[in-house]
Amino acid sequence: MSPDRSLFYVCSLLITIGIIFSFSLPIYFVARNDYPMYHFLLRQFVAGSLSIFIMWFLSRLDPDKWLFRIGVLFFIIFTILMISMPFMPSSIARVVNGAKRWIHTPFFAISPVEFFKIGFIYCLAWSFSRKIDGSKKSFKTEIKILIPYILLFLFYVFLIAFMQNDLGQIAVLAVILIFLALFAGTSFKLFMMGFILSIGVAVVAILSTSHRLNRIINWWAYAQDIFLKFLPDDLASHLRVEVVLEQTGQVANSLNAIKYGSIYGQGFGFGSYKLGFLPDVHTDFVLAGISEEIGFVGFSFIAFLMFIVIFLILKISARSENKVYHLFSLGIALMIFTAFIINSYGVSSIIPLKGIPVPFLSYGGSSLLATSIGIGMVLMLAKKTSKKVRDDSN
C-alpha cells in the first residue's frame, strides 16, 4: 500500500479512536451540566467526519495550483484574526484565563492559532526554498539571511505567548522554525544558536508572568525527587523547593490515572479519575484518561499509530524533489510530533504541563480540523511523489 493511502487510513483510525473516547471520558461534564448523553460524541463525530472528508478532498487537488493558495491564505487570514482578537467584544472573543484565544460564533468556536500553524509552516517552506540554497556560507551571512525570520517569530511570540497567554504553541512554532531552517540547508552552528535563542525567549516569557513562574515551581516541587536523586547532595539541596505555591492536584491525578490503568486498563467506560478529578480529561488530559481505561497496552497502540503517521509523512517528504513540498511535509510531521510529545510528557510530569491538544484525539474541532487540513495538504503533494516512483519503476 502506498504511503498516501496508509497515511489516510491511519489518521482516520486515530480520529475514530478520538470520537469513541469523546463518549466515555466527558461523562462527568455531561452529568454536571445536564447535557444530553451524546452531546460530546455527536459534536466530535461531526468534526471527525468533516476532518476525514477534508483529508480526502484535499488529496484530490493539484498541489502545483492549490498548495500555495491554501498555505498563504491561512497565514494571512489567521494572522489578521489573531491581531484582531484583543479588540473584539467579549461576546465574540471570550476571555479565558486572562486571554482571548477563541472566536465564538452561534454554531462553533475556532482557535485561530491552530490554523495559523498550517500557514506558518507553508510560508517557511516556501521562503526557505528560495532564500536558503544549501551552499556553504559564512556564519555572518547565514545570520543576515535569518534575521527577518527571527524578527517575524518574535512578533508572533508577542502575539501568541503574551497577548493570548499561550506559550505552548510558541514552543511548537519554535521547533518547526529551527528544524526547517536546518533541513533547508543552514549550518548546525546556526541550528544550535536558534535552539539557545528559543530557550532564552522561553525564559523571558516565563519570568515575565507570575503564573508561568509559579507553574514551573509547582512542577519542580512535585517532580524534583525524580531528578535530584541523580545529583550530588550539596547541589540537590540547593535545587530543592520546599514550598508549593499552588496545588498540583491535576498532575497528581493524571499520574494516578495512568498508574491505575496499569497494563490492560480498567476497561472502556470504567475509569474513575474522569469523574471530576481531571477537569480537562477529554482535552488536555485525554492521554491520562485513555491510559486509565485501556492501559499501557492501549496507550502503546495509540503511540504506535501516531509515530506511524509521522513516519509516513517523513517518507513522503523524503521522496519529494520539490524543496517546498519536502519542507512543508517535514513541518507537518514536526507539528504533530511536538504536540504529542509536549502533551504526553506533560500529563506524565516529565515536563511542566502545557495546554497543547493531542493531535486527532483531544476533544474539539479546531485542532482536529487544522491537523486534518495539514494531512490533506501532505496527501495532495504525495500524488506527485507517488507518480514519480511509478515512473521510475517503469
Give the structural domain span for 216: 3-392
pLDDT tens string for the chain (394 positions)?
677 889 999 999 999 999 999 999 998 888 888 888 888 999 999 999 999 999 999 999 999 999 999 999 999 999 999 999 888 888 788 776 667 788 887 777 888 999 999 999 999 999 999 888 777 778 888 888 889 999 999 999 889 888 888 888 999 999 999 999 989 888 888 888 888 888 888 888 777 777 777 777 777 777 777 777 777 877 777 777 765 545 456 777 888 889 888 999 999 888 888 888 887 788 889 999 999 999 999 999 999 999 999 999 999 999 888 999 999 999 999 999 999 999 998 888 888 877 789 999 999 889 999 999 999 999 999 877 655 555 555 4
Q: What is the pTM of this model?
A: 0.91
Other CB atoms within a 10 A radius of the CB of residue 308 amount to 16
C-alpha cell at 333: 510531521
N-terminal to C-terminal alpha carbon distance within the chain: 18
**Do the bridges between strand 99-100 and strand 103-104 make them parallel or antiparallel, or are there none, so unpaired?**
unpaired
Which neighbouring-strand residues pair with 100? Answer: 95
Which neighbouring-strand residues pair with 109? Answer: 104
Residue with cell 460530546: 40
> Cα dist. 211→206, 341, 384 in Å?
8, 23, 48
CB 354 within 8 A of CB 166: no
CB 178 within 8 A of CB 190: no
Distance CA 339, CA 344 (A): 9
Q: What is the DSSP string of 283-304?
A: TTTHHHHHHHHHHHHHHHHHHH
Other CB atoms within a 10 A radius of the CB of residue 363 amount to 26
User: Across the chain, where does the E strand assignment appear?
Assistant: 95-96, 99-100, 103-104, 109-110
Into how many domains does the chain fold? Answer: 1
